[in-house]
Each structure stands twice: as C-alpha cells, then as structure tokens.
Structure 1
Amino acid sequence: MQSFNLVTDPWIKVLDSDINSEKLVSLKELFRNAGSYRQLAGEMHAQDLAILRLLEAILITVYSRVDADNQIYDWVVLNKTMQVQTYENPAGLKLVKTLSKTWKKLYESGNFTDAIFEYLDKNITFFDFFGQRPFYQVTAEQYDSFVEDKKKIKKGSGTVDLMQMNRLISQSGNSIAIFAPKSSTWKNKLSLDELIRWLITYQNFTGVTDKTKVRAKEKHSNSRGWLYTLNPIFVKGNNLFQTLMLNLVLFNPSMPEYVPQQPVWEENLIEYVKKRLSRIKPDNIAETYTVWSRLLHIEWKEEGPVVFSAGLPAFESINTFDIEPMSIWRKNRKDGNFYPATKGLSNMGIAMWRNFGQYVPTMGNNEAKKPLAVEWLNFLKKKTDFSGNKMINLHTSGIISNGGATSLMPVAEFDDNLRIESDVLFDCSEDKANMWPARIEEMVELNQEVGRKYYRFLMEVGQIRFGQQGAGDFAARQSQAFYDSLNEPFTEWISGLTSNDNRETKQNAWKKELRQLALKILDDFLDIIAPRDISGEKDNNIFIAANRYRCGLNKVLRNG
C-alpha cells in the first residue's frame, strides 16, 4: 500500500542557509533545523504563506498545551495523542505569565522542543497523504456521502484539474493559460511533493469555478479560500525559526483567555462539515489557519491523480480579528463592524506603506483595527524583553483574483515588505503627538495629498487630449507612476528612522525629497508631451496645468 507521510517524508521547499540552495524537508526536519533555513522557498510567495500558516497551526496547537520544558499546563488535561480532553480557564494574569514564559524560553533557545516531535509522532496517521484519513482529503465513501447522487465519484463529474490547482497556471476547462510556465504536455502533471504543496495552497486560494457542492438542506454558494479574502500581514525573521516564532500568537493580548486550539485534522469530519454548513466561524487560530474551502478526494489512476472537489459555504467574516492574526481590516461605515480588507485589482499597486495606519492605528483613529500579528509583536516587545529583532520586517503576500463573481480566477500575485525599527513601530513616547507612528502617518497622508495634486494635473491633461470621458481612465493609469517613484525612497526613509531621531528634522528631510520626486515626475512627463497639449485652449494647456501643480506643491510642502 502506497504511503507518503508529511511528518517523515520530504515535501516542504526551504532555502538552506549553509549551502544557499533549495532543499526538500519533512515536517520533522523543518522543525528540528528551522534555524538553519533562511525561509520557505516554494513555487510562489502565496504558496509559502499557506504552508507557513499550516506550520503555525502545529506550533500553536502544541505550545498552547505544553510548555517549553515539555510539561503539560496545569489547566489542561490531554489524552494519549496530546489532544485536549478537558480544560479550565486560568486567571488572565497566570495565562499571560505562563505562555509568555513558554514563548520567551523557546525563542531564546533557538530550537523547538521534543513536544513538537512527540505530537507529530502521536498524530502521524493524520499526516499520511494516502492513509485511511488522507491528509487534507476525504475518502471515496465520505465524499459520496456528502454530495448529490449525480455528483458521486462513479459519475466522474466534479473534478478539478491539476493545472487549475497549480496557481502558477490556474487553467480551467473553459480558458487556456497562454503564458503558463509549463508546456501543454506538462501542465497537468505534478510530482507528489508539488501536489501536496498545491493542494494546501488550493484550499487557501480557491476560486468559485467548480460547480459541485456539499449537499445541504439550504442552498449555499461555494466559498472561496479564506486566505483569498485577506490582505495579509505577517512577520519575517532573519531565519525560518524566527519567522515561525514571531508569528506564533499564543493568546490575544487584548483579551487573554485560554482557547483550545483545534486544527482541522483533529476534528471529527462529520461534525466539521455540519459546522461549516451552519456557517459557524472558527473559534481558534489553529482552525482558521487550516480551514477547508473544499472537500477533496483523490482517485489514483495510471495516468495520474484525479481530484474530486465539493464546495463548502463560507463562514461569517464579521469581526474575526481574534481568530485571524494575519489580516488588515476595514470598517463598514453602515454597521460599524470590521471585515477583512481584501486585496483586489483596483488596489493591486498600493504598496504596504500606504496602509501604514491600518497596521498601527494612531490615537483617535476609530476607522482602523490593529492586526493581531502586530499587536502580538507589541506585546512581545513590552513583556518578554523582545530584542532579538531590532528591525521588524512586516510582510505581505497573496493572490489577486479577476473579481468575477462566477470564477474568481487568479490573475496576479503580490508580495511586498516594510522594514521598520521596533522602537519606531511601537514608539511609547509620553508625548502622544510626538510618537513616530503618528508622524509617519502624517507623511503618508502628505504623500497622498501630493499624489492627489498630480492626479488633478493628469485629469487636466486628459481632458485636453481625450475630452471629459477619457480623462479619468488616463489619470488613473498615469498616476500610478507617481506612487511607484515613491515606493523605494519612502520605505528607505521609514527603515532609517530611529527612536532617538528629531521628528521635525526627519520629516523635513522627507518633505524635501518628496518635493524633488514630485517635480521630477512632472519633468519626465513634460519631456514626452504631444503638440495638442501645448495648443490646448486659451486658458488651459499643459504648461498652465503644470504651473497649477507646482503651486499646489508649494502650499503643501512649505517646509520641504
């Protein structure tokens, strides 16, 4: 009988720091040698994020039950497989002190403890890709029991091609991916380790092209992958061990209470499907990180694997910031609730610095909610003498869909980072107005104001060239060049800030550089003007519009 176990067989791509090249490792190898690996190194950044969340689910499951000395916490009772049987809610102070000690001791040791390997050994059957309960899949009997008769496996419908699961291709039966990284002969072929990585990624970044659904009393739409709905944020360390530790959120610092962590492989399948059909949202982080969007079953044929897929409904995403650390949030003005801030085609080009106020909301900003990943970092800095990473590397990765309600097919990948000193990110100056986050947000808004003035200049040019109808599209396309020109210098300005800097001096230095950049983008544009731009109307040609833009810069950049 074929077997491939994720615990012991190599399937995760990492970048080995010692040999400076990629290698395949098992779960055990990864946790044992995480400090020797620079980072995950899969086929795309979005895939690495999906794998990272799986790894975090394992870590948070274990270390919410067992401390850094491999001792079970006194408020929880575990069974033989280290799963929670009963638990009590310890006092908040005790919980914070105990779990903080666990985190600190792990971080300072630079290694994960035997508890991780004991948990993996005792639950190894859940990680067998071909087992009686195959990893991230269901059996043929289970699949048939959850779908309509006409969708049963013997009917042969409801399949998803490997080239669609492979998010570098994402080719469905209705449209050909012309610029795919594989030829047509190889599009539908994957090695076993590739298949495992893409299967995990597919659960996280699923579109809605498939028609088969899990049978339910009430009609429901297939959900997209949960990670597909987020504009993610996580932290990158100097090596994979630091990355795993910095994202290991053991409790919510704002509301410290013990919540039993339960990744999907620990749940009873029938009960899990019932809960999903009831649209009950997860109540713990490990479940969120391993949530399924599809029931998948793989039939192994001579020509290769055939994947059957049945959709589950989405759970409610309102105010899920306590169970989803890796997301920024948007406030709905109508109901006052927070929802994940999805990245889409309309904001694909927006760099991380432009969302700075959503990572670290400033005083009085009720429209933003601090991501739990950032709140956890702030807690670590205050309570655990967190000093291993003076520079914080906030990172984002993901996939953008086409926005089509009937497909949500991937069209682009995004990946960006923002490096900032921890004392700057979490400035705790007594003078609230002098705190760096507020000052940085001032400069972000200043950049946006200059950007709006450049957009108005482009609108005037667009009206000269194309009339009122075409001006908006022209200005929208061209204005992105302004923000692109700011990305590198502004992120360098942020990464160069320190807690000892004079705020006014640093801000004025940026204003000066901003003025230079704003004038350069204008000069570059004027170098390629058309004859009609010059003639224009008597009181409206490109030079008059340019002068209005320069005057606007003088008003907003008085000290620059």
Structure 2
Amino acid sequence: MESFNLTTEPWIKVLDGKTNSEQMVSIKELLQNAADYRQLAGEMHAQDLAVLRLLEAILMTVYTRVDQDGEAYEWVTLNDKMHVQSDDDEIDSFTLLQILTETWLSLYKAGQFSDAVFDYLDKNKDLFDFFGDRPFYQVTAEQYDRFVPDNKKIAKGSGTVDLMQINRLISQSGNSVAIFAPKSANRKNKMTLDELVRWIITYQNFTGVTDKTKVKAKEKMSNSRGWLYTLNPVYAQGKNLFETLMLNLLLFNPNKPAYVQQRPVWEEDLGEYVKKRLSQVKPDNFAETYTVWSRLLHIEWQDGTPTVFSAGLPAFDSANAYNIEPMSTWRRNQKDGNYYPATRQLSSIDIAMWRNFGQYIDIEGRDESKEPLTVAWLNYLKSKKIVLNNQMVNLHTSGIISNGGATSLMPAAEFDDNLRIEADVLFDETEDRKNAWPERIEHMVDLSQKVGRKYYGFLMEIGRIRFGSQGAADFAGRKSQMFYDNLNEPFENWLSGLTGGDDRDEKQETWEKELRRVALKTLSEFLEIIAPRDISGTNDVQSNIFIAANKYRAGINKVMNEGKK
C-alpha cells in the first residue's frame, strides 16, 4: 500500500539559517532542527501560516499532556498513543500555570524540542499518512459517500475541485481563466506530492465558496469559507524557526489559566467531528481551531493523478471566539456588542500594521478591539521575566484577501507585513496609563491618520476641479495612498527606535515634526506636476490648486495644534 507519512517524508519548505538556501524537510526534521532554519518558505506567506498553525497544534497537544521529560501531568491519564483517556478539569489554575510555564521555559532554555514530541509523532504516525486508512486532512471513499447526498457520491463523478483551484496562487475555477498565473496552462493542474500536501492544508484554511457540494444536513446550510480566510492574523516571528514556534506556543490561555484538553482534528472521531460541525459548535481548544476543516476532502488516485472530491461543512459562530483563536485581531460590533474577527478587505490592503496599532494591544478606554491572545501570551512571558526583557518584538501578519464576491470569495490578493517594537514599549507597565507608551503611540497613530484625512480632503478638492464631483472620490482614493507610502517607513523607524527609558514628550515631539515634514513633502511632490485647469479652476468649483494647498497646510496646523491640547 502506498504511503507518504508527513512525519518522516520531506514536504515542508524552510530557509536554512546559515546558507539562506531552501530545503525540504519532514515534520520530524523540522522540529529536531528548528533553530537551524530561519523561517518557513512555502509558495506563499499564507501557506506558511497554515503550516505554522499545524505545527503549533502538534506542540500544544504534546506539551499540555506531558512535560519536557515526557512525564504525564498529574491531571491527565494517557493511553499508549498519548491521547487523553481521562482528565481532571478541576486542577488548581495556579498549579497548572506554574507547571506548564516550567515546561515552556525548559524547552526554551534547551533551544530544542524534547523527545516527547517525537514519541507522540511515532505513536501516531498512522494519523499523519497522506494515504492509508485515515488519510491526513482527508476522508476515505466510504466516509465521503456516507456524509454526502446520493447524487454527490464519488461514483457520480460530481463535486470535484481542480488542483488549479486548490493552488491559491492560481485559484482558477472552471468558469474563469486565471490569466496571470505562475504556471503555464498545461501545468496548472499538475502538482508534486509534497506540493499537494502543502496546498491541501492551505485550502482547508483559505477555502472560498465556489464549490456546490455539501455534507448532508437536516437544515439548510451554507458552505463555510476557510477559518483563516476570516481573520486578520497576528503572530510573533522570532530570529529563527524554533523561536517563532516557541513564542507562539500557548500552553494555556494567559487571560484565563485553566486546563483545556487540546484535541487536533486528526485525533477526532470523524463521525463525531462532522456531527459537531453540523451543530455549529465552536471549538473549545486552540489545537482544534488551528486544524479546523472547512471541507471533507477525498482524493481518488489513478495512475498517479489525483482527483479531489470536496464537500462543504458549515461554519461555526465566530462571535466572541477570542478565547479559542489566539492569532486573530478583533473588532467590536456596535449593534450586538460582540467581538468578531477583523477580516481584511481589498479596500484595506495597503493599510500597514502600525495604522491598526490599537488592535494589537490593550489601550486604556478603547473597547473597539480585543487584544489577541498571542500578544497577551508575550506579555505574560515578559511579565514573568522569562523572555523578551529589553528585546524587540516582531509582530507579523500574513493572509489572503478575497474578491468579496458572496458566491465565490476567490483569492484576490495576499498581504504580509510586520511591526517591530521593543517589548518594554509594547508592554509598558507605567501606572499612569495616559502616559504609557501604548496610549502615546495610539495617539500618534490617530494624529497621523487625521493629517492623512486632511490630505484626502485636498485631493477631493483637486478631483472636483479636474473631473467634477463624480470623479473626485475615485481620484482621491487612488492618490491618497501616496501620503501613507511616504509615511510608513518613517513611522516604522520611529516606532522600532523607541525604548522603555525614553523621554516620552521628547519622542512624541520628534514624531510630530517628522509627520509635518512628510505631510508637506507629499504636497510638494504633488505640486511638481500641475495642469492649467488646476490653476484656473472651473465655474462649478470656486477654487484652484493653490487655494486647496493653503487649506491643506492650515489643516495640518490645526490637527497638530489640537494634538498638543
């Protein structure tokens, strides 16, 4: 029987830390030598995030059951596969916090993962085989036929999804051709086995809604999109892959320390899992959320060529899911008061991370967002003086933005960005919160965006002169990004240069001067090319470019003066 076991076969792409060359490794190789690799290096950043979450699910599962020496914790009883047979969910939270923190610290100090994780992989290798009785991230033909309607069974040949659609760099359906694809037409539907594994994992995380087949349900349901597709993710990036994995390895919820059994999807009974998904019950643990399926997939092989059958599962309610999804930013819905994932839209693709600073850290008096658990975890590690003292934090985001079409949600763009800031600044413990760095930084972000809106107003006035009222908004929307293009690097440099010991007033004044300089520089660049109509104006618009420019300068002064009050 054919086998491709993800624990021992190379399929994960990484960058070597010394040579910067690309390598292909298995799960075991990666975890054994994680400190030697700089980062994951798959076909796209979004794919790397999907693989990172899978690896985190493995580590969370193992090290919430056994310590660094492979000894089971007092509150769990394990079987011979290291699965939980019974547990004591009444374990004292203080004891649990101490023990799990010690496990985390021991691994971090060792600079490598212990034998416990490799024991788990050996004992569960049958669950990581891409073929076999329980194919990884897939179901068997019998299982697939059991859960889909009779007219969608495999023998009918319907409900398939092409490889070129699973490949999120192409995402070509049968209805439209992806013209600017990275593969030629005759190669779009071909993949190596390692490539297929990576894209299957990615597809489960970033699924659109074009496929029509669904699992059988008593009530009408819609196909869910991939869970990661709904997020604006944030995670910590370390100086190497080991550090990245460790900084994102939450062994408990830092806001609510309590024992929660971590259950990745490969340990679930398939029937129970589908039943739970049909009832739209939220996952109750990180590992399940990180490995959640959006589709039941079955692969038929003929002469080495795969045919992928796909049946949709319903989505679970994302309201207030911040305790089961560590890597998301959150926004409060004003109508119902609930927090939902802060999904990225095409209109926000050019918005750098610093402009959403308030979504990543708790800001006094601001309840529009909820601090992500990944950031709360870093704060916990620092507060215990475990790590990050006088060190930089590199917060990272990656993902895919859909086209917004309700009947397709096809990938339209990828985003990838980072935000570097000293831990003492991000997690400033100053008692006077109004003087604390996060509040100060958020004030500077707000100030910068107010000036940006003044520039947009200037462009609207120019747009009305050039194109009339109907074309002004389109013109201003296209041109306003120039302001932030000029502002992004200076702000990021200012932010990464802050330290806990800086004079806050002095550093704030430094940024205000830089903001004014960039705002006026952007205006000067715009004024380098003007048309006669800009000078003369029109009968409909009693203005010209010089009047508009003076209004903009006055607007800058007004905003800056208000910021000092």
Q: TM-score, normalised by structure 2?
A: 0.98
Deviations 1:253-295 (A, max 9, x none): 1111100000000000000000001101100000000000000
Q: Could you tell me which residue of structure 1 aligns to residue 105 of structure 2? A: 104
Distance 2:345 2:538 in 1: 38
Q: Could you tell me which residue of structure 2 aligns to residue 555 of structure 1? A: 558
Contact 2:462 2:548 in 1 (8 A): yes
Distance 1:368 1:400 in 2: 20
Contact 1:207 1:224 in 2 (8 A): yes
Residues 235-254 of structure 1 mapped to structure 2, 5 A cutoff = 235-254=236-255
Q: Could you tell me which residue of structure 1 aligns to residue 212 of structure 2? A: 211
Bigger Cα displacement from structure 2, 377-386 vs 103-112: 377-386
Contact 1:237 1:389 in 2 (8 A): no
The offset of 1:548, in angstroms, is 0.5
Q: Could you tell me which residue of structure 2 aligns to residue 130 of structure 1? A: 131
SS of the residue aligned with 1:129? coil
Contact 1:393 1:419 in 2 (8 A): yes
The offset of 1:57, in angstroms, is 0.2
Q: Could you tell me which residue of structure 2 aligns to residue 361 of structure 1? A: 362
Q: Could you tell me which residue of structure 2 aligns to residue 268 of structure 1? A: 269
Amino acid across the alignment from 2:119: E
Contact 1:455 1:476 in 2 (8 A): yes
Distance 2:388 2:455 in 1: 42
The offset of 1:320, in angstroms, is 0.4
Distance 1:109 1:266 in 2: 29
Q: Could you tell me which residue of structure 1 aligns to residue 491 of structure 2? A: 490
**Which stretches in structure 1 are left out of the alignment for 5+ residues?**
none
SS of the residue aligned with 1:438? helix
Contact 1:395 1:417 in 2 (8 A): yes
Deviations 1:516-553 (A, max 9, x none): 11011111111122211111148411110100000111
Distance 2:325 2:60 in 1: 13
Amino acid across the alignment from 1:73: Y
Residues 424-439 of structure 1 mapped to structure 2, 5 A cutoff = 424-439=425-440
Q: Could you tell me which residue of structure 1 aligns to residue 45 of structure 2? A: 45
The offset of 1:419, in angstroms, is 0.4
Closer/same/farther in 2, CA of residues 221 and 532 from structure 1, 3 Å limit:
same
Deviations 1:149-174 (A, max 9, x none): 11111111100000100111111100
Distance 2:452 2:321 in 1: 33
Distance 1:30 1:341 in 2: 31
Contact 1:424 1:497 in 2 (8 A): yes
Q: Could you tell me which residue of structure 2 aligns to residue 6 of structure 1? A: 6
**Which stretches in structure 2 are left out of the alignment for 5+ residues?**
none
The offset of 1:483, in angstroms, is 1.2
SS of the residue aligned with 2:459? helix
The offset of 1:556, in angstroms, is 2.3
Distance 1:131 1:391 in 2: 45
Contact 1:204 1:228 in 2 (8 A): yes
The offset of 1:389, in angstroms, is 7.6
Residues 249-398 of structure 1 mapped to structure 2, 5 A cutoff = 249-302=250-303, 304-387=305-388, 390-398=391-399
Deviations 1:317-350 (A, max 9, x none): 0100000000000100011100000001121111
Deviations 1:436-495 (A, max 9, x none): 101100100010010010011111111111212221121111111111211111011100
The offset of 1:303, in angstroms, is 6.1
The offset of 1:18, in angstroms, is 2.8
The offset of 1:211, in angstroms, is 0.5
Contact 1:391 1:421 in 2 (8 A): yes
The offset of 1:384, in angstroms, is 4.5
Give the aligned length: 560
Distance 1:465 1:93 in 2: 66
Q: Tell me how large the CA RMSD over aligned residues is.
A: 1.2
Distance 1:341 1:368 in 2: 9
The offset of 1:69, in angstroms, is 2.1
SS of the residue aligned with 1:554? helix
Q: Could you tell me which residue of structure 1 aligns to residue 479 of structure 2? A: 478
Contact 1:100 1:384 in 2 (8 A): no
The offset of 1:513, in angstroms, is 1.0
Amino acid across the alignment from 1:551: A
SS of the residue aligned with 1:185? helix
The offset of 1:388, in angstroms, is 7.1
Deviations 1:117-151 (A, max 9, x none): 00001111000001111000000011011111111
Q: Does 1:17 align with 2:20?
A: no
Distance 1:552 1:384 in 2: 45
Q: Could you tell me which residue of structure 1 aligns to residue 120 of structure 2? A: 119
Distance 2:388 2:377 in 1: 14
Q: Does 1:466 align with 2:467?
A: yes
SS of the residue aligned with 1:557? helix
SS of the residue aligned with 2:187? coil
SS of the residue aligned with 2:370? coil
Q: Could you tell me which residue of structure 2 aligns to residue 546 of structure 1? A: 549
Residues 83-102 of structure 1 mapped to structure 2, 5 A cutoff = 83-89=83-89, 90-102=91-103
Q: Could you tell me which residue of structure 2 aligns to residue 184 of structure 1? A: 185
Q: TM-score, normalised by structure 1?
A: 0.99
Closer/same/farther in 2, CA of residues 248 and 346 from structure 1, 3 Å limit:
same
Amino acid across the alignment from 2:482: A
Contact 1:236 1:243 in 2 (8 A): yes
Distance 1:463 1:471 in 2: 5
Give the percent of matched residue pairs that are identical in Structure 1 and Structure 2: 70
Contact 1:104 1:384 in 2 (8 A): no
SS of the residue aligned with 2:250? coil
Contact 2:381 2:388 in 1 (8 A): no
Residues 448-467 of structure 1 mapped to structure 2, 5 A cutoff = 448-467=449-468
